[in-house]
Amino acid sequence: MGCDVIIVGGGASGLMAAAALAGQGYRVALLEKQSRVGRKLLSTGNGRCNLTHRGARASDYHGGRQAVQAALKRWPPKRIEAAFGALGVPCVADGEGRVYPMSRQAASVLDALRLACDERGVDTLTDFEVAALARRDGGFEARAADGRTIRGRCALVCAGGLAAPRLGGSGSGYVLLKGFGHVITPRFPAIAALITPPGPVRGLKGIRAEGSITLLVDGEPQRTEKGELLFAESGVSGIAAMQLARGVNEALAEGRRCAVRLELTEAPVDLAARARNLPKRPLDDFLNGIVPKRLGQTLVKAAGLDLSRQAATLTAAELMRLRDILTGWSLPVTGTQGFDQAQVTAGGASLRDFDTRTLRSLRCPGLYAAGEVLDVDGDCGGYNLQWAWSSAMIAAEGIVEALGNGH
């Protein structure tokens, strides 16, 4: 079987590029190793698909920021919204600038892309895991493990990263690109829960609290995030904490010490006045109403205080110690959840090996890449899907330019 463009990977980037190229009249073969396309896309935004962020900037990304800058310039969020509107998916934004399909259903986004591919004649082949991708007769040949082959004039690798293996994440794209001489940077989980020693948080599983969390590396603050914190059996989750995972993994890989400092009050609290007003209140319940009860008990114990004591017995020094814990509880961080729970992969194919204007490989003519397989990862909030869409469109435009020139 022959075509103009072989696309490896039927996720967000692959589907977007396939629809764009087929819309230009090119014959496209979209190869997906799973039994259906877009499975990971269905889980994004808790099933609502936070498909971009109106305020996206290169500073919201890590890795190849030069490529991100080019992508945001050519395909900014507003243009991505318009592209989905043209596919029949009107978009709406929340007060923070996060953009969703009007239906608030990730399935709407996947269906629109899938239908566009079908309507434009994309040959979608599922259960086709590309075991090898090679140059053949001036083009490319993709071979499946079962021996099936597809030939194309150009190839676009959109095979994703290592995150969420149950939804298709694997290292297959890195292997294919490495075969053409591409450098693959170290990869580690990003947007993942933080792991701490279990002792301090063991009794807090399921407790949620609003506050801020600061990453400390060798005692120095690196990044602070605000929002809901969710305590787990052996660590801290919630988007605010998960945003720090990349920094944790980078620091630990360098042999540095990591900790987080939690500020668990949304407004200043006068604990001395509280003790005067509630003198008979046992410390077991002293912080109840400021933070969830179990969290309050944990903080009192972390301050070295007996839960059975009454508030009136607290000394000025003890009140200060308790205040310091409430506004700056520090926990060591020993790691993050692995790729099975992470939302995105940090690291990947180095952008130094690609023309950032077209995402064309500088090591192999006719080869392109887009999406998570590249060394770009964004913060939580629609940034990673924005990169998926914009990088796919840049690669598609680069392929159109190359095929139009007869390359």
Q: What angle do CA 315, 293, 305 make, to 5 degrees?
A: 30
Distance, first Cα to last Cα, the chain:
20
How does 321-330 read in b/e, with b if 16+ C-beta sit within 10 Å?
Answer: bbbebbbebb
Question: Are 199 and 273 in a shared domain?
Answer: yes
* Inter-helix orientation angle 293-302/316-328, to 10°: 120
Under 8 Å between Cβ of 240 and 227: yes
Question: Are 78 and 149 in a shared domain?
Answer: yes
Q: What is the dihedral of CA 364, 358, 344, 230, to 10 degrees?
A: 160
Residue 141: give the domain boundaries: 2-188+342-404
Q: Which pLDDT score is estimated for 43?
A: 87
Q: Which pLDDT score is estimated for 405?
A: 61
Q: What angle do CA 32, 37, 43 make, to 5 degrees?
A: 130
Question: Are 55 and 136 in a shared domain?
Answer: yes
Name the nearest CA neighbour of 318 among 332, 301, 330: 301
Q: Which pLDDT score is estimated for 168?
A: 86
- Tell me the sheet residues that pair with 346: 188
Q: Which pLDDT score is estimated for 358?
A: 97
Question: Are 122 and 239 in a shared domain?
Answer: no
Tell me the mean pLDDT in the region 23-30.
Answer: 97
Q: What radius of gyration do the chain's Cα atoms show?
A: 25
Token pair for 37 = 């396309």
Question: Are 326 and 353 in a shared domain?
Answer: no
Ordered DSSP codes for 305-346: --TTSBGGG--HHHHHHHHHHHHHEEEEE-EE--TTT-SEEE
Backbone torsions φ then ψ of 79, nearest 5 degrees: -70, -35
**The residue to which tokens 């009050």 are assigned:** 265
- Is the pLDDT confidence value at 15 over 70? yes
Q: Which pLDDT score is estimated for 166?
A: 85
The pTM assigned to this predicted structure is 0.93
How does 156-184 read in b/e, with b if 16+ C-beta sit within 10 Å?
Answer: bbbbbbbbbeeebbbbbbbebbeebebeb
Question: Are 331 and 373 in a shared domain?
Answer: no
Question: Are 86 and 118 in a shared domain?
Answer: yes
Last residue of a domain, one of 336, 364, 381: 336
Q: How confident is the model at residue 349 (pLDDT cuts 50, 70, 90)?
A: very high
Question: Are 62 and 182 in a shared domain?
Answer: yes
Q: Which pLDDT score is estimated for 10?
A: 97
Last residue of a domain, one of 300, 320, 336: 336
Under 8 Å between Cβ of 125 and 31: yes
- Is the pLDDT confidence value at 81 over 60? yes
Question: Are 58 and 16 in a shared domain?
Answer: yes
Under 8 Å between Cβ of 37 and 135: no
Q: Mean pLDDT, the chain, as a whole number?
A: 95
Q: How far apart are CA 342 and CA 187, in angstroms?
A: 12
Total domains in the fold of the chain: 2
Question: Are 166 and 23 in a shared domain?
Answer: yes
Q: What is the pLDDT of residues 55-71, one digit of tens each?
A: 999 999 999 999 999 99
Q: Which pLDDT score is estimated for 206?
A: 95
- Is the pLDDT confidence value at 103 over 60? yes
Question: Are 167 and 204 in a shared domain?
Answer: no
Q: Can you say whether the dihedral through the CA atoms of 267, 265, 382, 354 is positive or negative?
A: positive
273 class by beta-carbon count within 10 Å (0-12 exposed, 13-18 middle, 19+ buried)? exposed
Q: How far apart are CA 46 and CA 343, in angstroms?
A: 11
Q: How far apart are CA 263 and CA 327, in angstroms?
A: 4
CATH label of the domain that carries residue 122: 3.50.50.60
How does 76-96 read in b/e, with b if 16+ C-beta sit within 10 Å?
Answer: bbeebbebbeebebebebeee
Tell me the mean pLDDT in the region 92-117.
Answer: 97
Q: Can you say whether the dihedral through the CA atoms of 203, 206, 210, 215 is positive or negative?
A: positive
Q: What is the pLDDT of residues 163-198, one digit of tens each?
A: 988 888 889 999 999 999 999 999 999 999 999 999
How does 205-224 read in b/e, with b if 16+ C-beta sit within 10 Å?
Answer: eebebebbbbbbbeeeeeee
Q: Which pLDDT score is estimated for 406?
A: 52
Q: What is the pLDDT of residues 34-44, one digit of tens each?
A: 999 999 999 88
Q: How confident is the model at residue 324 (pLDDT cuts 50, 70, 90)?
A: very high
Last residue of a domain, one of 314, 336, 358: 336
Question: Are 31 and 48 in a shared domain?
Answer: yes
Q: Which pLDDT score is estimated for 76?
A: 98
Q: What is the pLDDT of residues 264-305, one digit of tens each?
A: 987 889 999 999 999 999 999 999 999 999 999 999 999 999
Q: How far apart are CA 30 and CA 373, in angstroms?
A: 16
Q: Above pLDDT 90, what percent of the chain?
A: 93
Residue 336: C-alpha distances to residues 62, 126, 226 (Å): 18, 33, 19
Q: What is the pLDDT of residues 372-395, one digit of tens each?
A: 999 999 999 999 999 999 999 999
Q: How far apart are CA 294 and CA 360, in angstroms?
A: 54
Q: What is the pLDDT of residues 242-268, one digit of tens each?
A: 999 999 999 999 999 999 999 998 788
CA 176 vs. chain centroid, Å, equals 22
- Is the pLDDT confidence value at 237 over 90? yes
Tell me the mean pLDDT in the region 121-144.
Answer: 96
> Which residues, 6+ apart, have CB-to-CB distance to 212 below 8 Å?
224, 225, 226, 227, 240, 262, 263
